[in-house]
A and B are shown apart, each in its own frame.
Chain A
Amino acid sequence: MKRKVLSVLLSVSMLAAVLAGCGSKEAEAPAAPAQTEGDGAGETEAPAENEGGDADASAAGAGTFAIVTKASGNPYNEREASGFEEAMKAMGYSADQIIVRHPEAATADAQITVINELISQNVSAIAIAGNDNDALQPVCEQAASKGIKIISLDSTVNAASRLTHVNQAGTEIIGQTLMDAVLDLSGGEGQWAILSATSQASNQNAWIDAMKKVMEGDAYKGLELVEVAYGDDEYQKSVDQTQALLTNYPDLKVICAPTTVGIMAAAGVLQDKASEVKLTGLGLPSEMADYVGEDKVCPYMYLWNPIDVGRLGAYTSVALVNGDITGAAGEKFTAGDMGEYEIVEAADGGTEIIVGPPFAFTPENIEEWKTVY
């Protein structure tokens, strides 16, 4: 008897959980179309919104704005999305006009699913950090044909898939900065290796190519790039790859990891082994605080502010939807308190907006930055 009661209770609670799960999803999905339908119906809807207590909304226009990051569970992506939300709210948009989507996995497939959902929700603009440069083209074109403004941020989708790209820092500047760091840490010559994320990540490949181009210069003659290893932005795999690099190349002097997961995994390995190999690259200060220091494995590293990338993504999306810009090179617009930005030609034939140069995290400033992001 007891058992029967227990099993009934369990099934009921599971059923409830299932229903709750469905319920919240259903509630979420129609919310956006309802919003856009309202917009289509005309201005009558706008005052009603204001009566709802959202005073700021009067300043803002209509439409819903989506950001699609690379994947869930990565603090960098979270910060990027929070910057996007913050800027949208600063412009007076209400919370239900902002859609933040983190795909389940860092794959193009997962993003295609998300974009299809956003198309059926009839959003006004999508800002996406591409997991693949070309694979997203069909779904982006489909979205564009429905009048949705597509931009990429952080990691590009190809020129045909987007109106413009919000670039955290110029590819050439990043390549130059990282190569100079490698040159400095190696003492001018010796073997070095790159620990990247996935082999398809468009931003990673662009930076690696830029670094290789810089390395052709005379000043870098003494450096030998022995391997580009891929840790797939998975912690355990990145650790295995770092350990393999150390075993395979005993004379290795520097590892450069232009990915936040990779640099952290490599830092852990180097510190455990008390290795002489130096580490630099692109990393989040909060995650790397333990490893950046004078006598530590990572003397200095770089990154930009992912919050700023998200914010500029929001301002660009809104400017496109409002018709202030079209995404062509040479156009200028004001991105709130971030100031004026100009759209420039990008290396892949499209256009881009560059947020700023990469920022160096050194033993002097890491303590104050580790609490920020």
Chain B
Amino acid sequence: MEKKKFDWKAITSSREMSLVIVLILLCAFVQIRNQSFLTGGTMEEMFRNYAVTFILALGMMCVLLTGGIDISIGSTLAFSGMAAALLMRDYVISTPVSFLVSIAIGAGLGLVIGLVISKGKVPPIVCTLGFMNIYRGLTYLIAHSQWVAAYQFTDSFKNFALTKYLGLGLVNNMIAVTIYIYIIFYIVMKWTTVGRRVYAVGSNAEAAAVSGINIDNVKIGVYTLMGLLCGLGGALWTSLYKSAQGDMATGIEMDVIAACVVGGVSLTGGRGSVVGVMLGSLTIAIIGKALPLIGVSQFWQNGIKGLIILAAVILNVLAQRTMDKNNLKRREM
């Protein structure tokens, strides 16, 4: 009996749980306003449309864990997606090749950012602000400010976002890719030395360096990883929308950072979990999908979005504080 009571307290005071409660309340409210929200069709659409946000949030979490930030992700995504789309238009490459090309380009762009930040000792926000503009400009340049339109893609590429062959016939390819990546990240971040090193660099860089971790390499690694995921995101994005535009994914960095912060990732580094990021991304996705459905004027929707994000973060911080206090108490005993 007593044990049960203890569990309940632990659950309500955990950060992830506070977010789950917010999400349940949010969904319940939307469902009352519009019965079609919690249906298979709407949910599938939501996860498909926001798969890219889900995936990028994982990369952003790693960057934030090391105490950095990357605001160039929208531009990296656009450049790699556009480059792959142009290759498909002009040289008719196959779907797997275009995905690999996009991922490789994205990783390359991320590597450059990582090198400048670690070796050039440039503050991450300044460096990625610069590259945000550089990569976006390059995207317009390589595309000559044109779009790649639906009829210029191969059928197999366009069908990627509509079929389920990667999801064992159960879930859409976009969603399947997201799930696989979350599983990999969960394992790597929790149980491998690689994952623990990322946490170590963010929570105490000096201690990490003393214990033999090459901080520069970890930093280069996380920005390259971020770029790699952007490259994947670029291919997924063009396949989902069947069109590549120079201004695609503009502003996505704010949604992705919001997803991380809502999910309890600390902007000062060292703190954050894969489960939290998943819940944070889910919050952003639900807000984006649900607001047009509840019948409020569009002019209110942005304000409501901001309020929900703020509320989620405040709850999160409060939960964290109770948790810290409890830990402290336990230590005193």
The A interface is mostly helix, strand or loop, or mixed, namely helix
Is A40 on the interface with B (CB-CB < 8 A)?
A: no
Contacts of A11 in B (CB 8 A): 120
Contacts of A72 in B (CB 8 A): 140, 145, 246-247
- Interface positions, chain A 239-263, Cβ under 8 Å from B, are 239-241, 243-244, 247-248
Q: Known contacts being A248-B34, A290-B151, is A73 close to B116, with CB within 8 Å? A: no
Contacts of A290 in B (CB 8 A): 149-151, 242
- Interface positions, chain A 264-320, Cβ under 8 Å from B, are 264-265, 267-268, 272, 286-291
Contact with A240, one of B36, B250, B292 (Cβ below 8 angstroms): B292
Is B243 on the interface with A (CB-CB < 8 A)?
A: yes
Is A10 on the interface with B (CB-CB < 8 A)?
A: yes
Q: How far is the CA of A244 from the CA of B37 in the complex (A)?
A: 10
A229 touches B292 (CB 8 A): yes
Contacts of A265 in B (CB 8 A): 241
A229 touches B146 (CB 8 A): no
Contacts of B140 in A (CB 8 A): 72-73
Is B245 on the interface with A (CB-CB < 8 A)?
A: yes
A268 touches B241 (CB 8 A): yes
**Interface residue tally on B, bucketed by range:** 35 or more
Contacts of A341 in B (CB 8 A): none
A244 touches B116 (CB 8 A): no
Contacts of B119 in A (CB 8 A): 3, 6-7, 10
What 0/1 pattern do residues 205 to 235 of A give for CB contact below 8 A with B?
Answer: 0000000000000000000000001100011
Q: How far is the CA of A247 from the CA of B243 in the complex (A)?
A: 24
A247 touches B36 (CB 8 A): yes
Contact with A75, one of B115, B134, B145, B150 (Cβ below 8 angstroms): B145
Contacts of A264 in B (CB 8 A): 149-150, 243
A291 touches B298 (CB 8 A): no
Is A352 on the interface with B (CB-CB < 8 A)?
A: no
B120 touches A73 (CB 8 A): no
> Smallest distance from the beta carbon of B55 to chain A beta carbons, Å?
15
Q: How far is the CA of A10 from the CA of B111 in the complex (A)?
A: 13
What 0/1 pattern do residues 278 to 313 of B give for CB contact below 8 A with A?
Answer: 000000000011001101001100000000000000
B292 touches A287 (CB 8 A): no
Contacts of B289 in A (CB 8 A): 240
Contacts of A10 in B (CB 8 A): 115-116, 119-120
- Interface positions, chain B 138-191, Cβ under 8 Å from A, are 140, 145-147, 149-151, 162
Q: How far is the CA of A236 from the CA of B42 in the complex (A)?
A: 16
B145 touches A289 (CB 8 A): no
> Smallest distance from the beta carbon of B311 to chain A beta carbons, Å?
22
Contacts of B248 in A (CB 8 A): 235
Contacts of B247 in A (CB 8 A): 71-74
B150 touches A241 (CB 8 A): no
B147 touches A287 (CB 8 A): yes
Contacts of A268 in B (CB 8 A): 150, 241-243
A235 touches B36 (CB 8 A): no
Is A29 on the interface with B (CB-CB < 8 A)?
A: no
Contact with B241, one of A17, A78, A235, A243 (Cβ below 8 angstroms): A235
What 0/1 pattern do residues 70 to 110 of A give for CB contact below 8 A with B?
Answer: 01111100100000000000000000000000100000000
Is A347 on the interface with B (CB-CB < 8 A)?
A: no
What 0/1 pattern do residues 126 to 144 of B give for CB contact below 8 A with A?
Answer: 0000000010000010000
Contacts of A55 in B (CB 8 A): none
**When A and B form their complex, which 10 residue pairs have the shortest distance between CB atoms, in order from nearest?**
A244-B292, A73-B246, A290-B150, A290-B151, A73-B247, A7-B119, A287-B149, A289-B151, A247-B36, A10-B120
A-to-B contact residues, CB < 8 Å: 3, 6-7, 10-11, 14, 17, 71-75, 78, 102, 199, 229-230, 234-236, 239-241, 243-244, 247-248, 264-265, 267-268, 272, 286-291, 370
Known pairs A7-B121, A243-B45. 12 more at Cβ < 8 A?
A3-B119, A6-B115, A72-B145, A72-B247, A73-B145, A73-B245, A73-B247, A240-B289, A264-B149, A264-B150, A287-B149, A291-B150
Q: Would you give 27 A-B contacts (Cβ < 8 Å), ordered by A? A: A3-B119, A7-B121, A10-B116, A71-B247, A72-B140, A73-B145, A73-B245, A74-B247, A75-B147, A199-B299, A230-B298, A236-B49, A236-B241, A239-B241, A240-B49, A240-B292, A241-B292, A243-B45, A248-B34, A264-B149, A267-B150, A268-B150, A268-B243, A272-B162, A287-B150, A287-B243, A288-B149
